[in-house]
Amino acid sequence: MKILSYKYDESLISNTFSFLRLPLDFNPYKLDCDWVITGVPCDITTSGRSGSKLAPSAIRQISSNLAWESCRWPWNFDIRQLLKIVDCGDLVFEIGNIEDLTDKLQIHAQQLLFSGKRMLSFGGDHYITLPLLRAHAQFFGTVSLLHFDAHTDAYICGNKYDHGTIFFHALHENLIDPDHSIQIGIRTTSNYSNKFIVLDMKQIYEHGIDYIVNYVGALLGSRPVYLTFDIDCLDPSVAPGTGTPVIGGLTSYSVLELLRGLRYLNIVGMDLVEVSPAYDYAQITALTAATIALEMLYIQASRSKMFRNF
Q: Which stretch binds Mn ion (CB under 5 A): 2-10, 144-152, 262-270, 288-296?
A: 144-152
Exposure pattern of 243-275 as b/e (b: 16+ CB <10 Å)? bbbbeebbebebbbbbbbbbbebebbbbbbbbb
Instruction: Provide CB contacts within 8 A for 67, sequence distance 6+.
Output: 20, 21
Give 41 or 243: the residue with its C-beta nearer to Mn ion. 243
Q: Which stretch binds Mn ion (CB under 5 A): 64-72, 149-157, 184-192, 216-224?
A: 149-157
Minimum separation from the CB atom of position 230 to Mn ion (A): 4
Asked if 149 touches Mn ion (CB under 5 A), the answer is yes
- Rounded Cα distance, 243 and 25, in Å: 30
Minimum separation from the CB atom of position 45 to Mn ion (A): 12
Instruction: Provide CB contacts within 8 A for 57, sequence distance 6+.
Output: 17, 39, 41, 277
**DSSP state letter for 275:** B
Q: Which stretch binds Mn ion (CB under 5 A): 8-16, 100-108, 150-158, 219-227?
A: 150-158
Give 149 or 295: the residue with its C-beta nearer to Mn ion. 149
Minimum separation from the CB atom of position 188 to Mn ion (A): 8
Give 249 or 269: the residue with its C-beta nearer to Mn ion. 249
- Rounded Cα distance, 113 and 110, in Å: 5
Instruction: Provide CB contacts within 8 A for 12, sequence distance 6+.
Output: none
Q: Which stretch binds Mn ion (CB under 5 A): 26-34, 147-155, 262-270, 302-310?
A: 147-155
Three-state SS string across 11-65, please? HHCCCCCCHHHCCECCCHHHCCCCEEEEEECCCCCCCCCCCHHHHHHHHHHHHHH
Closest residue by Cα to residue 186 from 150, 222, 133: 150
Asked if 235 touches Mn ion (CB under 5 A), the answer is no
Minimum separation from the CB atom of position 123 to Mn ion (A): 11
Minimum separation from the CB atom of position 124 to Mn ion (A): 13
Give 14 or 237: the residue with its C-beta nearer to Mn ion. 237
Find out whether 247 and 23 touch, Cβ atoms under 8 Å: no
Q: Which stretch binds Mn ion (CB under 5 A): 32-40, 44-52, 151-159, 281-289?
A: 151-159
Minimum separation from the CB atom of position 152 to Mn ion (A): 9
Residue among 60, 117, 136, 151 that touches Mn ion (CB under 5 A): 151
- Rounded Cα distance, 122 and 103, in Å: 17
Residue among 43, 87, 125, 230 that touches Mn ion (CB under 5 A): 230
- Rounded Cα distance, 86 and 198, in Å: 34
Residue among 87, 90, 162, 232 that touches Mn ion (CB under 5 A): 232
Q: Which stretch binds Mn ion (CB under 5 A): 54-62, 67-75, 226-234, 258-266?
A: 226-234
- Rounded Cα distance, 218 and 195, in Å: 19
Give 228 or 300: the residue with its C-beta nearer to Mn ion. 228
Beta bridge partners, 24, equal: 87
- Rounded Cα distance, 157 and 164, in Å: 9
Give 232 or 271: the residue with its C-beta nearer to Mn ion. 232
Q: Which residues bind Mn ion (CB under 5 A)?
A: 149-151, 230, 232
